[in-house]
A and B are shown apart, each in its own frame.
Chain A
Amino acid sequence: MKPFGYLIPKSLARACSLLSEYEGQAKIIAGGQSMLPQLKQRLISPEFLIEIKHLKGLQYVKSDRDGLRIGAMTTHRAIESSLVIKKKFPLLAEMETRLADSQVRNWGTIGGNLSHADPTGDPAPALIALGAQVQATSVRGSRAIPLEDFFLDFMTTALADDEILTEISIPYLPPHTAGAYYKESVRPNDSAIASAAVVIGLAGGKVTRADIVLGGVGSTPIPAKQAAQLLIGKKVTAGLVEQVGAAAVAEIRPTSDMHSSEEYKRLIAKVVVEQMVNAAARRAEA
């Protein structure tokens, strides 16, 4: 790694002012589980790192009246084992068990993961499907960004250079609404070849809400809006699910990588979407 200065602000406010002050020369480091490999490969070489992982004020899982709020410095492990998350959003706890390995999950944070914006990442599709939004904080104040608008391009987020992702909030799911997440990869917790997070809401046996978000098949997570729209007002049948799968594939933009070709990603994406639509619908019924 190229040497850097390491700054340890005592508060979020101080972290924001440092980030502003060191404009362009500093990067925020959380758990560093994605950042350290980048530093070692010299893909990035900031002159300063500003640590925020230690800020206890950003480590929480809180239940509000309308939903859950998760502090950006909450580790993946805390999310995986949180009782309230297992109860209210089992999809998230399941997703976390597929993320990397226990060592990475013990130290890495959800905020760091989302800010890093790896298009094969696990949390983003699941959180987008759940309708999450994030809080971006800077010396100029704080603003909410819907997560589906957060990922602009390959590893590029809507965060301004002086903004820090500080919180993720997720609205509770109404009754008969449930989600499912699956990632196809070479080994169970490897990077996604194609992944799908699906949230389905049912009323009277018909779909009232459908969110389908794919990972690993574009430069950002891809909400398959047209595919999801096909489900609204209908009963979930095998024929419809097949149409939805095919429609979802039409919305993705995969590129070949060392683990799979573009063609293979398209094949897998269709299957994963179909399976997750079925799984989410089954869970929503229960």
Chain B
Amino acid sequence: MKRAAVIGAGYIAREHLDCLRSLASVDIVGICDLSPTLAQAAAEEFQVPHWYTDSAAMLRELAPEVVHVTTPPGSHVLLARQALEAGAHVLVEKPITFDRDELRRLQQLAASRGLVLLEDHNYLFNDSVERIREQAKAGRLGEVVHVDVIFAVDILGEGSPFADPDAPHPSLSLPGGAVADFVTHLAYLAYAFVGPPRAVHTVWDKRGSGPVPPWDEFRALVDAERGTASLSFSARAQPDLFWLRVHGTRMRATASLFEPLLVFERLYQGPRPLFPVRNGLAAAVAYSHSAVAGLWRKLGGRPITYSGLWRLLSRFYRALEEGAPPPLSPDWIEAVNRLVGDLVAQKTAQ
């Protein structure tokens, strides 16, 4: 049984808490937030025995073995260091930092104390992404040629915290603004299939008329060691979408990460003109299944978008219990951080 604590009681913390209370090997001992009401409300809702507004006091008094940092990005490094120094394994929401040196120092601190420092790359653990990675690993995709990652989400609409000029969203202070809040997802999905970048080209643009965020459109073309990747974020294209498409020499896989959609387009035996027919029928079945299964999961209160987070946390705690390697290695986290840094650095140069 691991004693866990959560720092930050906002929206994403609720997903962590919801998952943690479903894990038999976890005892949630404390929750902390600068707002006493948010901390107390989260403690009440998730039956956490202690709540704090001072993270240092919580770490000192409760001595948790694992700490989840779910605060806005600007505080991630400080709180992760504080938790590591208190002797806790740490899982930090993305991005830990855009500064490679800061990340390296944190990783060195974790390694020197025999602790795990993990960044939340949750979509990597969604069913559909795991299945595509299995197909790639087994060689059924053939050689991976290219990856498309497309994220479109309406962050400019009424009520969106990203578009509220009176209470600027914390991500707006990041290099890259609101887009930077999503770019880590694009980066680790690309990295998973095409590896480290050799060159990166980006377009950062603002097409919407509102005062915030500073950029609402982002495109990148990545020339990587094992193939190429195109990454796209749009705050204006609708409806909302998060697609991963992996193009192999023998198969193409398409997954929607907001729904349980997974489509494989294959090369078949037989006449070539029939390939589109068979692939079209397979896609129709996959879309129909996704529509029904997605609705069923929503009605059942089971996670869809954050299903990867639940799996990541489950594996993280199992690894801690068994003394096994964590679900993401320090090298992986550093490599993704480097790619994210390259993408964001181009914005700075522009």
A and B from one complex:
no
Residues of A participating in the B interface, judged by any CB pair closer than 8 Å: none
Residues of B participating in the A interface, judged by any CB pair closer than 8 Å: none
